[in-house]
Amino acid sequence: MLRKMYDWCLGAAGKPHASWALGAVSFAESSFFPIPPDTMLIPMALARPDKAYYYAALCTITSVAGGILGYAIGAFLYDSVGLWLIGLYGYGDKVEAFREAYAQWGSWIILIKGATPIPYKIVTITSGFAGYNFLLFVLLSIVTRGARFFLSAFLLNRYGPQARAAIEKRLGFWFTVFLIVFLVGIVAALYII
């Protein structure tokens, strides 16, 4: 089943709608969706290493746009939508501490958490809730999300064929590694933030 899903992702990368789907996932992940865009970016860049930088730029732009929506949810709809989303991810009791940390470390929080597997929507919603400077939020989001996606693009563009061969040879192992990193990010977000 894992092999079929992997092959489907690689096959879908060449379809005309693939970029739209990647952009939609990247946008939604920054404000409410639980699945990171890397789940599409990596197979698409493996299938088309020549378009890896295009995919990274698309993820960056749509992720920042989704982050703006997350910021707006935190700034204007926190008591209804924002609080519900934060609670859905298990952060309800940590938001006030996170908000206080923003007063002192806001820029570093955005830069560090935007590049990690910790759900970025928590950063975007809390940035709006905390009243963090909007323009600085957007600039830092461009830097951190761009760094994350363009690093992936560089590695996949440069080592794509070798990476694809290694992944296809040991698909189960690499899938397990991805799941572990993803779960560690969630656990870290739940217990460290």
Position 29 in a domain: no
- 114: helix, coil or strand? helix
Position 155 in a domain: yes
Position 186 in a domain: yes
- Looking at the structure of the chain, the number of domains it has is 1
Distance from C-alpha of 45 to C-alpha of 153, rounded to nearest angstrom: 7
Task: Provide the pLDDT for residue 55.
Answer: 94
Task: Provide the pLDDT for residue 12.
Answer: 67
Alpha-helix runs per DSSP H in the chain:
2-12, 18-29, 38-47, 52-76, 83-88, 95-114, 120-130, 134-169, 171-191
Task: Provide the pLDDT for residue 117.
Answer: 65
Position 42 in a domain: yes
Position 79 in a domain: yes
Chain CA centroid to CA 51, Å: 19
Domain that holds residue 153: 2-15+37-191
pLDDT < 50: residue spans in the chain = 193
Tokens 């703006």 -> residue: 68
DSSP 93: G
Position 32 in a domain: no
CB of 64 closer than 8 Å to CB of 28: no
Position 31 in a domain: no
Task: Provide the pLDDT for residue 38.
Answer: 81
Position 10 in a domain: yes
